[in-house]
Structures are given as C-alpha cells and as structure tokens.
Amino acid sequence: MKYDFSEIEKRQQKLWEEQKIFRLDDRNAKRPYYCLEMFPYPSGRIHMGHVRNYSIGDVIARYKKMQGFDVLHPMGWDAFGLPAENAAIKHGIHPAKWTYENIDYMRTQLKRMGLSYDWTREIATCDPKYYKWEQLFFIQMLEKGLVYRKKAKVNWCESCQTVLANEQVEEGLCWRCDSEVVERELDSWFFKITDYAEELLSGCEKLKGWPEKVLTMQRNWIGKSVGAEIDFKVKGKDKVIKVFTTRPDTLFGVTFMSISPEHPLAVELSRGTSQQEQVKAFIEKWKSALKSERYGQTEKEGVFTGSYAVHPLTGEEVPIFVANFVLMEYGTGAVMAVPAHDQRDFEFAKRFNLPIRIVIMPKDGQLHQEDMEEAWEGPGVLVNSAQFSGLDNEEAKIRIVELLEKEGKGQKKITYRLRDWGISRQRYWGAPIPIIHCEQCGPVPVPKEDLPVELPFDVEFDPSGRSPLPHLEAFWKTDCPRCGRPARRETDTMDTFVESSWYFARYICADDHTKALDRERVDRWLPVDQYVGGIEHAILHLLYSRFFTKALRDLGYLSADEPFDRLLTQGMVLKDGAKMSKSKGNVVDPDTMITRYGADTVRLFILFAAPPERDLEWSDRGVEGSHRFILRLWRLVTDNLDQLKPASFSGDELRSICAEQKNLRALRQKTHQTIKKVTEDIEERYHFNTAISAVMELVNQISSTLKDFQGSEEQGFWKVIREAIEAALLLLSPMIPHVTSELWQILGHKQLIAREPWPVSDPDAAKKEAVLVVIQVKGKVRGKIEVPVGSSKEEVLTLAQKEPNVSKYLEGKEIRKVIYVPDRLLNIVV
RNA sequence: GCCGAAGUGGCGGAAUUGGUAGACGCGCUAGAUUCAGGAUCUAGUGGGAGUUAUUCCCGUGGGAGUUCGAAUCUCCCCUUCGGCACCA
C-alpha cells in the first residue's frame, strides 16, 4: 500500500469536518481548557513562523482533547493594519478586498495543515460586528476616566504618515519601516494604562506559567522607581522646581541642578541674565537634533542658566544648568545633581568644574574628593549631612523624606517609566474612534445605539499615504449628538493593537451579536490556559492585553485578572543561521513543502528539530528524515496488516503472553515506558522533540522485534506488536494527525483516533526486571554489570569484585568507601 | 553600561534530581539490494592510542574550586544572541 499523503490528508480533513470533531459546545463543557495561538495578520501567505506556532498549539490542543478536556481552540484574523492600505495605494485594490482575499487564501493554507480549530468561532477584527464592541469599550472607558484626549508630543513617522506608540519606536526609528521618527504636537486619544501600572507590575509575580524573560521585560518596561519629589525654590524668583530622586539620602551632596532642555522654565530662568543667548542657542541646537541622533549620545553637554536654586534644608544656593541628558518625559524633567554619588552628575561636574561633595561613605575603604574617578553609587554611612550624619543610607532615605514632608518641602513619590498608550492613528484601515467634535460641546461620544461607526467603503487613496477620511465629507459631516449643531466626526482610527487586546475573549461568544461579551461564558474560559506565540510580542501585545483584561474586568465584562495563565514563547525559524526574509532570499515556503512531503512531515520536522522555545534551523535534509520516519511507520502497519488486523488484545492476555516470552516482555516494557515518557514530555515540558525521539525508539524496537520473530504466525506475538504500534499511533496523533488517523482506520477501528483517549502507561508492564549498573573505581567507569532491580549495595559490590576489569583496579588496595546509587551506579573508593 | 538566555561531535539536538556524555535524527563510511523513485536493508561513526571481540587516555567555550563523582553546583574570564539603554 502506497503512502499517498496528499489523498490521505484530504480524506482525513474531510472526515474531521463531517464529524465536527473540533466543534465545541462551550456552554456544556465539563472540563474547559482554552488553548490559543496568536492570530495572524492576513499578509497574504502563511510563513514558517506561523507553521511552527500553530503546530505547537495544535499538539497541545489535540493532546488535551485526548486527555478528556473540552478544548476551546479558535482561530481568527488580526485584520486591520497598514499593509492593506499600502496595497491599496500601490495596486489599486481596496484594503477590504485585499484583506478578505488574503484571509480566504490563508484559511485554506491553515486547513491544509490539519489544525484542530473550531472554525465556527472565526473572527476578523476589521468586521464591524467585531469593532463595534471595541468602540463601545472606548466610550465606556472614556466615561470611566480611562480614556482621555490631550495635545501631546507624539512620535510621528513620516513614511507611515501616522503616530506611533512609545512601544513602537525602536532607537528613534519606526518599528515597521525603520525611518526616522519625528516629534509632533497632535491632539490624540490615550488609554490610561498608567492607572494599572502597579497592578501590571505586581501581577507579574502571579504569572508562574510565563517565561521569566518575558516577565523581566515587562517589569523593565513598567520601570517602577521609589523615591521622593523634592521642592527647590529658585533664588530671587517666585518659582519652585520639583525634582524626583531615588536617592533622597544624598540630598546634602547636591552641588547643582540640571533641567531638561524641554523644561518649561528652561528659557525663563535665563531671562535677563548674561546667559540668555547661550541657553537659547543650546536649546535650539538640541531641538534640531534628530531623535535617533540623541540615542547613544553619552557626551554630557549643558549650559548654565544664570539662575540658582535654594537647597531646601541647608539654604545653600546651587547653580541651575540646562543639560542634554535630562529627560522631560521622566520624573519632573529636573534633577538634583549629586556628583559624588551619581555617575552622570559626576561626569557633568568634571566637565564644568563643579564641586563634588561626598555624603555617603562606603563601609570598607575611604573616598576622597580629590582622587575620585567615578561616582560611588553603592551603600554606606552618611557624612557631611547635618543631623543625619552617621546614619545608614537606607535609614537616612526614610528620615530625610520625613523631615521634608514635615516642612512641606517634599514627599515620598513613586515614578513609572510606563507612559499612557496613545491610540490615535491618522490612517484609514482601522476601527474609527467613536467621537464627534462639536464646537460648542467639545468631543462628544457617539451615542451607543449609533454604533458601530462604520468605516466608509468608497474612498480615494492618496499616494502620500495620508488618510482619506478627513477629506470625505460624507463620513465626517454630522451633527452633534448633544446639541444638534453641525459637527465633525473624528477621523482618526485606533491603533491595531487595540483589536488584539481582547480578541481572545470574543472567541468565546463569537456567535452572540447582541453583546460584546457574555460574562457567564467568558468567565468559564478565561484566563486562557495556554497561549502560544512569538517572543516579539513580549511587551506590546502582551502588556496591552493584560491592561485590557483588567479594564474590562473593572467595566464588569469579566472576572479574570489576567488574560493568559501560561505562555509559551516559541523561537524563530531560521535558515542558514538567519531569520527567513525576502531580502535575504532564504525563505522556505510552507505550501511548497506541504505539497512535496505532506502536512504531517512538515509538522513532524518542525516539532522534532528543536524544543519550542528555542530558535529552529530549517534543514531540507531534516525534513526528508521526518518523511522517512513516517514512511517507516506506514510500512510497519501496512506490510503486516494480515497479521495485525485480527490481533485484538486485552491487558490480561498480554500479561500472560509476556510472562512466558522475554523478548516480547521487553517490547511491551518499552511500549509502556514510551507512553510514560511521551506523556511527561508533553504535559510537563512541551518538549515535543524528545517525545518524538522516544516514539522513534519504540518504532525501532518494534522493527527489530519483528525481525527476530521473522515469519511468526503466533497470535500472541502479534498482539504484543499491535499494542506497541497502537501506542505509537496514539502518541504521535497530536503531531502527525492525518497518517495516524488513516492507519488507525486501516487497523479496523471505527472511531477516529482524535476521539480516542490518551494511552495510559501500565506501571507493572513498564517496570524493568534487571538493570545495568555502572561500576566505578575512584569515579572512573571500569565495568557494567546486569543485576536484578532493587539489588542491595552488598550484592552489587560482591558481583562487582568478581569482574576482572574491576578487580584489576582493586588489587592490593584498601576499599575506603563504597557509594551506591540504587539501580544505577556503584562507586568504589580506594 | 545594565538585565536576561545560551555555548555539548561534521550538523540539529539529548542527558528531567550532581551518577554510563553524545539518546533520536541528519550527514558521512562500507556492504547488500533495487536501480523508476525524495528509496530500502545491514554494519560502523566524538578525538587519540593500542596487543584492534572484552582495554586505556582525552573530551561538554576557557581557568580555578566543591565532591567519591560535575555538561549540571560555586567563583572568575571569553564568545554569541535577545531586551533595555543618560529613567535621576
């Protein structure tokens, strides 16, 4: 019988569809398990990264189903975004047409892979039936104070003609097109993610099933700093400059102050002083520098403002500088400078010849102002700090802030690096922001009964990339819902990350178009038990989804605190050591591979070549190896079908057969050891590569046993073989579902293999009778002897001493110590 | 600079708790078989030495240490990758 994978895969997929085996009745689920992979952007074709992502998720989903869980395993499309619009401009295709055609094509591709999705739950985020709810959330979040509008400096990408979130700017460049990001003042809508900064941070502790790497990245991104805000008066002016510091213990070491070139007082402080022109010039120069040029520039530059700040405790006057390294976005845009204990201040002080005053003395060793080469940022005891001298610096932090609070000159303060999430995008292909701007009433939310605000279809695309919406009167011209006067509809659309921040909840009740989320249904399934996706979303998507889940919880839509209980971040698929990309010309097309070898082979290779979290090197030879293995499996069944078919078995039968025949006992032992090993590898570690190699070993042993018993017609023998083969098929069925399903039928089973329960290892059958114990002398291997399981130290030692190669090393020496690891190793120390 | 991960044959990788390093697969070598096949089967395959069926030495990026015993634990160093990057 020929292994015609193309026919087999088509036939099996048709069977699964006809029998609706992956359709889930979520309301009647007794053991819910939600397995989810990150949904794709419908770019046109799936790539190997998708194949890997969805193969991994499919193994988990199918495995859990066989374990008896009711598995929710949906798929959909992250369908808004720039490429659709670019295609429209370039090829004159409407973004909607482009997107839906891509979806149709990619759906076919995914179906060819034989993935166990419940396709009835499919969603596309560009569907008004989807984004309608998102617009509703926006309005409700606005009512709750979680959405606000402000004129803000935004990151603007000229090439993409849109605003980017902080998270989408990488080293001053656009994350998508790598072109220079410039600053612009724009009225924009923001989600108040900072309201959840503390919960997003502390929640990391509870995410036990997330990779530590991702949690670290999230923590760094949130960037919590505990410290104090301290008020410095400006000498001779009725002004106060607030600074933020994490080191209030160094307050007595302040010898100057630095403020950002963007600080509102920067120009004012120099007004009327001799420094006025210099300050102006400095700020101009700084502003004209490109954002990417500012990155990596560590040279400290600055200019004296001509003004002085008054130290809140000593009354000392210290000069105020405008300095290039002070960020306006963080803290207050002004810092108290303590050159002795902050490296940046130290460098600045050296450059401008400013005094360095030591106020923290390290426990061992002395610091001397004259010969310091770098700042001392470590702990120590306070010196030169009035009544606080002699205190440990951690203690001093508390005491000094207490005093400042008492005198009304400062207070404890916690600062986060996390910024609010700007979501306004000046693009067409996104969900419209449901707002109407009225000259009288200001921005007014679209009445809920008028939702969705649908994206108009008939638009002209501007080759520059500018959104057509502001020029489309039919879209923007409207009346104010509050006062009825003529008004203008908001023409910005939402960041596409908004759609992907809650899609996992929508799948659960995708059939219900009367409400956004059915709380009862959603609560049964969230959080997602297992989420699988690429590491590139470690910050953006995952942080936004966590925020959205908390916001939706607080709006009463659901109860979960976190969206994803366990997270598996798969590595990249590489070719020749580099990520596959068109420009490098090292792309391997999944379709080509599936046509050539079948979906099972491609799935098997990609699961076998590396553990999921590691990068995977694509190898054409490796694919052939995987194909050969499936062929071997195929022949193992089909070449022996006459004997295998009638060889139905029961556990009791097998036990009595194996009691008499040692070789068969060994095979059955291997069968049950393999079941145990594969179950553990999948359940505990998701190490499919070792799970597959374990089944390969089993298959190898089946083959060699067959050879040993060549031509045997004995019934008992074939029963043991059949048990082993069936175990191999069941264990492999989540990974190579088509061929195992076909072989299962060929063996005469009426029920589809996907409906079979996962095999259970019989501990008695798996138990070894004898083990190979390694004999070491002084830690060096000198022999191996076979002993019955559970042999005592003495028994093994007696046998070991009889081994010629062991006794050779013991001769004339005194045994000092014998270490015995039961059933593994005996080490004789002489 | 800081944080994190990793470094094992010609290659992908295994060794789950400190206990036979190199499972499984690729590749390679030799032989068999068929040459229509991306074939199949058998044996071998870390390096070195040897009295070549049973042996010894070396070997998990480098160096030290703990231990009867270290790829695994500790310290120092090197390399690669990823993240953050003047965060006060």
pLDDT digits (tens, 9 = 90+) for A105-127: 999 999 999 999 999 999 999 99
Question: Average pLDDT, whole number, for chain A?
Answer: 90
Nearest nt to the A345 alpha carbon by C1': B88
In this prediction, residue A768 carries a pLDDT of 80
Is the minimum distance from the CB of A209 to strand B below 7 Å? no
Q: Find the nucleotide nearest A685 (Cα to C1′).
A: B16
CA of A401 to C1' of B75 (A): 39
Q: How far apart are CA A599 and CA A114, in angstroms?
A: 7
Going by C-beta distance under 8 Å and a sequence separation of 6 or more, which residues neighbour residue A649? A719, A720, A722, A723
Measured CA angle at A687 (ends A682, A692), to 5 deg = 85
**Strand B footprint nucleotides (protein C-beta < 7 Å):** 3-5, 11-16, 19-21, 23-27, 37-42, 54-57, 68-70, 82-88
Q: Which of residues 781-810 of A touch strand B (CB under 7 A)?
A: 781-784, 805
pLDDT tens by residue, A491-506: 999 999 999 999 999 9
Question: A770-829 sits in which CATH class?
Answer: alpha beta
In angstroms, what CA-CA distances link A789 with A769, A795, A824?
5, 11, 10
Closest nucleotide to the alpha carbon of A691, via C1':
B24
Point out the nucleotide closest to A779 (alpha carbon to C1′): B69
Nearest nucleotide to A629 (CA to C1') is: B25
Instruction: Give A223 CA → B4 C1' in Å.
Output: 16
Of A72-76, A131-135, A273-277, the poorest mean pLDDT is in A273-277
What was the pLDDT predicted at A291?
63
Give A460: exposed, middle or buried? Use CB within 10 Å, 0-12, 13-18, 19+: exposed
| A666-CA/B32-C1' distance, Å | 29
CATH class of residue range A5-125+497-570: alpha beta
Among chain A residues 244 through 283, which have CB within 7 angstroms of nucleic chain B? 244-247, 260
Q: Would you state the CATH architecture of domain A593-766?
A: Orthogonal Bundle (1.10)
Helices A651-660, A715-732: inter-axial angle, 10-degree rounding = 120
A721 CA, B53 C1': Å apart: 33
- Which ipTM value was assigned to this complex? 0.92
Structural domain boundaries in chain A = 5-125+497-570, 134-192+420-494, 224-416, 593-766, 770-829
CB A16 within 8 A of CB A752: yes
- The integer distance in angstroms from the CA atom of A418 to the C1' atom of B79 is 34
Q: Is the shortest CB-to-strand distance from A816 to strand B under 7 Å?
A: no
* C-alpha separations of A343 from A249, A339, A366, A372, A375 in Å: 16, 7, 18, 11, 5
Judge if the beta carbon of A631 is closer than 7 A to nucleic acid strand B.
yes
Residue A293 has a pLDDT of 65
Convert the pLDDT of each residue in A646-692 to its tens digit. 888 888 888 888 888 888 888 999 999 999 999 999 998 899 999 99
The model's pLDDT over A578-629, given as tens digits with 9 standing for 90+, comes to 788 777 778 889 999 999 999 999 999 999 999 999 889 898 889 999 999 9
Topology at the third CATH level for domain A224-416: Isoleucyl-tRNA Synthetase; domain 2 (3.90.740)
Mean pLDDT of A129-151: 96
Phi, psi at residue A397, to the nearest 5°?
-55, -45
* Token pair belonging to A493: 């659309």
Nearest to A193 by CA among A433, A523, A661, A546: A546
Question: What is the pLDDT, as a whole number, of residue A749?
Answer: 95
State which residues between 145 and 174 of chain A bring their CB within 7 Å of strand B. Answer: 170-171
Q: Which of residues 653-692 of A touch strand B (CB under 7 A)?
A: 677, 680-681, 684-685, 687, 689-690, 692
What pLDDT score was predicted for residue A290?
65
The answer to whether A416 CB sits below 7 Å from nucleic acid chain B is no
Is A325 (CB) below 7 Å from strand B? yes
Q: Is the CB of A708 under 7 A from strand B?
A: no
Per-residue pLDDT band at A166 (split at 50, 70, 90): low
**How far is residue A657's CA from residue A669's CA, in Å, rounded to a whole number?**
13
CB atoms closer than 10 angstroms to residue A794: 10
Judge contact between A345 and A365, C-beta under 8 A.
Answer: no
3-state SS class at A235? coil
Q: How far is the CA of A576 from the C1' of B62 (A)?
A: 28
Q: What is the pLDDT of residue A151?
A: 86
| Closest by Cα among A444, A447, A426 to A435 | A444
Q: What is the DSSP string of A587-641?
A: ---HHHHHHHH-HHHHHHHHHHSS-TTS-EE--HHHHHHHHHHHHHHHHHHHTTH
